[in-house]
């Protein structure tokens, strides 16, 4: 795998199956071990989780046929890919 990451989603009865709110990706480097990759993923979790909570608290998220829609008045970050 060349990319790994994290996802914030709405909770459903099926584990890790709810509609996705936001995702972040991190590259997998040749020299990575479990700890180095986990540290980069954790750093992105600290970005996307508060972002998703803020959007929810501001009423910017809505479900539309099982998909999450974000109020487009204020655009989301263009990219959440981190080295």
The arithmetic mean of pLDDT across residues 22-36, rounded, is 95
Could you give the dihedral angle defined by the CA atoms of residues 77, 74, 18 and 23, in that order, rounded to the nearest 10 degrees?
A: 0
Task: Give mean pLDDT, residues 29-52.
Answer: 96
Q: Which has the higher per-residue pLDDT, 16 or 68?
A: 68
The whole-number pLDDT of residue 78 equals: 55
Distance of CA 13 to the CA centre of its chain: 19
More confident residue, 83 or 48: 48
> Is the sign of the CA dihedral 58, 15, 34, 24 positive or negative?
negative
From start to end of 1-83, where are the E strands? 3-9, 20-27, 61-64, 67-70
Confidence of residue 83 (pLDDT cuts 50, 70, 90): very low
Residue 79: what pLDDT?
55
Domain ranges of the chain: 3-70
């Amino acid at each position: 795998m060349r990319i790994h990451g994290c996802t914030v989603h709405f909770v459903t009865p099926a584990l890790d199956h709810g509609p996705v709110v936001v995702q972040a990706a991190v590259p997998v480097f040749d020299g990575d071990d479990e700890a180095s990759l986990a540290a980069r993923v954790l750093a992105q979790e600290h970005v996307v989780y508060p972002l998703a909570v803020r959007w929810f608290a501001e009423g910017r998220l809505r479900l539309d046929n099982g998909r999450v829609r974000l109020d487009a008045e204020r655009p989301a970050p263009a990219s959440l890919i981190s080295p």
